[in-house]
Amino acid sequence: MEANESLKMNMLAARYAKLRQLCRQLNRKRRNLRDKVDLLCRDLVYSNQTFTETLQDLRRAYDFQTELTGEFDLRYMLHKALRHLREQITQSSAAIYLCDRGDFAAHVAGAWYEQAQDIADIERSLAVTVVKSVTETHKAVLVDDGCNYPTAQTQHRQVLTGLSLMGLGIVGEDGLVGVLIIYRCASEPLSQNDKLIVEPLLTPLGRAINAAQKLEQLIVHN
């Protein structure tokens, strides 16, 4: 009798042990499933955010291209583009250097530059620093203060001191057509976020420049 009771108790204990093991396995699988669901939800949220940001960038690029479409005077179109770009980056000045001309074709500076000589000095310094770097490397330039520009000579570093600089290549149908430079007071340095704001607008700008240049060539040859 005692042997039977002992056997029943052992069998019951074994069943409880097996049940506890099964519960642990179920809990472990539930935790793994919960982690996978959490990860999937985070991925979905991130994907939706990225998709929304991409749509916003495409919309801004479309609006920018629409604004430039139909402008056949290159100089006017470039100034119009610069005014739009300055609205994207607060308290900024902007200039466009065209590779085929080897010079700046448009420059919209802040009101604190009262003399044309100031602009000329800045353009000369930008040409041998930011423009040279972008055209040679085809990489963006982002400097918190012109006094820290690594390859600038003393006179150019002095001119650019106090200015935060960003240079971006403008690519057209056949490669680099120009360099966009945005700068502002170094007390509010330009950032990677500012670069991300401007980058989607470079493609429509390159197309608009190509179109205006082709029209100029047709007019000259006719």
**What single letter denotes the amino acid at residue 172?**
G
CA distance 106 to 103: 9
Long-range contacts of 174-177 (CB under 8 A, 24+ apart): 176/99, 176/134, 176/135, 176/138, 177/98, 177/99, 177/100, 177/206, 177/209, 177/210, 177/213
**What single letter denotes the amino acid at residue 139?**
K
Tell me the pTM: 0.73
The structure tokens 């470039």 sit at: 78
CA distance 126 to 121: 9
Tens digit of pLDDT for each residue in 90-116? 889 999 999 999 999 999 987 655 555
Whose CA is closest to 191, among 78, 88, 117, 109? 88
Tens digit of pLDDT for each residue in 39-93? 766 766 666 665 555 666 567 767 777 777 777 788 989 999 999 888 889 889 9
Question: Looking at the domain 72-221, which fold is it?
Answer: Beta-Lactamase (3.30.450)
Tens digit of pLDDT for each residue in 124-161? 999 999 999 999 999 999 999 998 888 888 888 889 99
Cβ neighbours, 10 Å, residue 115: 8
CA distance 182 to 167: 7
Whose CA is closest to 143, among 196, 183, 103, 92? 183
Helices (H), ranges, the chain: 2-68, 74-88, 116-126, 132-137, 154-160, 192-198, 202-221
Q: Kind and range of the H or E element at 169?
A: strand 163-172
Between the two ends of the chain, the Cα-to-Cα distance in Å is 119
